[in-house]
């Protein structure tokens, strides 16, 4: 089984709808991240969490919110989806060792907002 | 974290060494150089990281210049499965998430 899972893998929705993307991990890591990727570009950080009680905004948090329900779960919500949020979304985890800093990524969720 | 500059694309013949350069002229003393790659639209995958010394693992070698202003990722015998976007990232040892640029698209040609 995959260490970092994302659901759904693909989603098509309409403008104005509320959408939740879910991420679960079995690696026992405290740190979790949400990134988005647009065609031809690198990943941009949306939100990150260093433990259950910690939530931090990333580079492009506007229009998004997150919830860290447990150590293993980190959800990303789009309260009112708009077309320019169409993108590939990745969840990632890492341990608390700042030097190693290896991040493990999920398979991604492809979101299309019509 | 210091910015990095990478060529947008490179080609490499299958079986040859792929040498991917990265400039990070503003790197500070406590910042590490990380390399990740992303195959097609999969999640990025960690390759290697280093501070000052050259590093080698089962996937690649990382050569960091003495002044640390640039580095090279070496895939010793590139295969078609190494075709991917390769990201060079500079990151401090503190609590900072990885910041991805556009990377280098490596195409391994048969």
In the predicted model, residues of chain A with pLDDT beneath 50 are none
Residue B43 to residue A105, Cβ atoms within 8 A? yes
Q: How far is B103 from chain A (nearest CA, A)?
A: 7
Residue B85: exposure state from Cβ atoms within 10 A (0-12, 13-18, ≥19) = buried
Say which of A35, A42, A108 has its CB closest to residue B41. Answer: A108
Distance from CA of A58 to the nearest CA of B (A): 9
Higher pLDDT, B95 or B48: B48
**Residue B62 Cα, gap to closest chain A Cα (Å):** 15
The residue count of chain A comes to 114
Q: Which two tokens stand for residue B60?
A: 């690649």
Element counts in chain B: helices (H) and strands (E): 0, 9
CB contact under 8 A, B32 and A90: no
Q: How sure is the predictor about B91, in pLDDT bands with cuts at 50, 70 and 90?
A: confident
Token couple for B16: 């040859």
Task: Please name the member of B46, B94, B100 whose beta carbon is closest to the beta carbon of A43.
Answer: B100
Q: What is the pLDDT of residues B34-86, one digit of tens each?
A: 999 999 989 999 999 999 989 999 999 999 999 999 999 999 999 999 999 99
* Å between A82 CA and nearest CA of chain B: 22
Structure tokens at A17: 């709808």
**Could you say which of A88, A98, A110 has the minimum Cβ distance to residue B93?**
A98
- Average pLDDT over all residues of chain B: 93
Could you report the per-residue pLDDT of A83-108, keeping only the tens digit for each? 999 999 999 999 876 666 688 999 99
Binary contact (A43, B102; C-beta < 8 A): no
Contact at CB, B100 and A50, closer than 8 angstroms: no
The 8-class DSSP code of residue B5 comes to B
Contact between chains at A101 and B98 (C-beta distance less than 8 A): yes
């Amino acid at each position: 089984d995959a260490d970092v899972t994302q659901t759904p893998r693909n989603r098509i929705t309409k403008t104005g709808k509320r959408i939740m993307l879910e991420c679960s991990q079995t690696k026992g890591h405290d740190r979790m991240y949400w990134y988005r990727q647009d065609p031809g570009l690198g990943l941009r950080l949306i939100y990150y969490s260093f433990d259950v009680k910690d939530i931090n905004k990333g580079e492009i948090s506007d229009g998004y919110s997150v919830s860290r329900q447990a150590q293993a779960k980190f959800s990303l919500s789009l309260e009112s989806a708009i077309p320019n949020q169409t993108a590939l979304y990745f969840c990632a985890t890492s341990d608390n060792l700042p030097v190693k800093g290896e991040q493990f990524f999920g398979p991604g969720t492809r979101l299309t907002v019509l | 974290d210091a910015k990095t500059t990478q060529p947008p694309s490179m080609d490499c013949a299958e079986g040859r060494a792929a040498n991917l350069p990265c400039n990070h002229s503003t790197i500070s003393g406590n910042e590490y150089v990380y390399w990740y790659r992303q195959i097609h639209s999969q999640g990025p995958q960690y390759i290697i990281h280093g501070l000052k010394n050259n590093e080698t693992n089962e996937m690649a070698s990382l050569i960091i210049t003495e002044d640390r202003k640039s580095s090279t990722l070496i895939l010793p015998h590139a295969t078609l499965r190494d075709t991917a976007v390769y990201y060079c990232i500079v990151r401090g040892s503190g609590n900072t998430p990885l910041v991805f640029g556009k990377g280098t698209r490596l195409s391994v040609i048969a």
